[in-house]
Amino acid sequence: MKNKTLLALNGVVRGGWFATVLYSATACGGKSASSQTPVPAPTAPLPTAGIASARVPLLPLTLIAAEDTLGWRTELGNRTAALAAADSVIGTLIRARSPEVNWVLPDELRREARRSPTFAANPDQMGTSLLRAEKLEMVPDPLRAELRTLVALANARYALVPAALVYRRAAGSANPRMATAELAIVLVDARLGRVGWRTVARGDGEDPWSALTRAVKALTPGLP
């Protein structure tokens, strides 16, 4: 199982940003590749083949932000409520669309942490948002130790971590209410403290939750 999992995770192209480096002199009017606008990489599918049948904790989101121009203070102004709503959307869709994995949702993780307050950190207060950094491969301490302990309490090895949720005004849309949800998400081998897979899932919508729904659905392509 260990070798199969690592092989499956290593075979996935990691998400991130890339710049267009090939160009046509005719189409671009002789401009250099460095003048091209960076475009987002496509969302990498969730690598469930490598973790099928395994218990995998889904950690709660700890960072949510939106551009001021979206005017979503009412929807996102209450941070606790917004994080809880995002966790509900992510957990519901991940479980329904990837039933081959035995997901351990945030509420269960919280209960596990409360049962062992001396050893386990509060999952809502862990520094998981730093895992949104594109080039981060090894989880730094103290987060590494906290993740290892929490995931072990859940009788698991791997954890799926939504590291950050950011809303930006949708580029190129004629609808001023349209926004893009960008969900940075990683799969971590908690025993080794290594990020095995990462991507940024994106989805558009006129409100935070419809945009997030489309972003999470992008993790499991081929489903409606």
Average pLDDT, the chain: 86
Which residue blocks in the chain are alpha helix, DSSP H? 2-10, 25-28, 73-76, 79-97, 106-115, 143-153, 208-217
Is pLDDT of 23 > 50? Answer: no
Backbone angles phi and psi of 124, in degrees to 5:
-80, -10
Mean pLDDT of 138-142: 96
pLDDT at 19 over 90: no
Of all residues in the chain, what percent carry a pLDDT higher than 90?
72
* Poorest-pLDDT segment among 13-17, 46-50, 85-89, 98-102: 13-17
How much is the pLDDT for 203?
A: 97
* Domain extent listing, the chain: 2-217
Mean pLDDT of 122-132: 96
User: Above 50 in pLDDT, residue 207?
Assistant: yes
**Predicted pLDDT of residue 36:** 60
In the beta sheet, which residues pair with residue 58?
160
Question: Residue 179 corresponds to which amino acid?
Answer: A
Q: What is the pLDDT of residues 73-114, one digit of tens each?
A: 888 999 999 999 999 999 999 999 999 999 999 999 999 999
The confidence score (pLDDT) of residue 5 equals 45
Residue 11: pLDDT above 70?
no
- At 13, the pLDDT band (50, 70, 90 cuts) reads very low
Residue 50: pLDDT band (50, 70, 90) is very high
- Give Cβ neighbours of residue 38 (< 8 Å, ≥ 6 apart): 17, 18, 19, 20
pLDDT at 37: 58
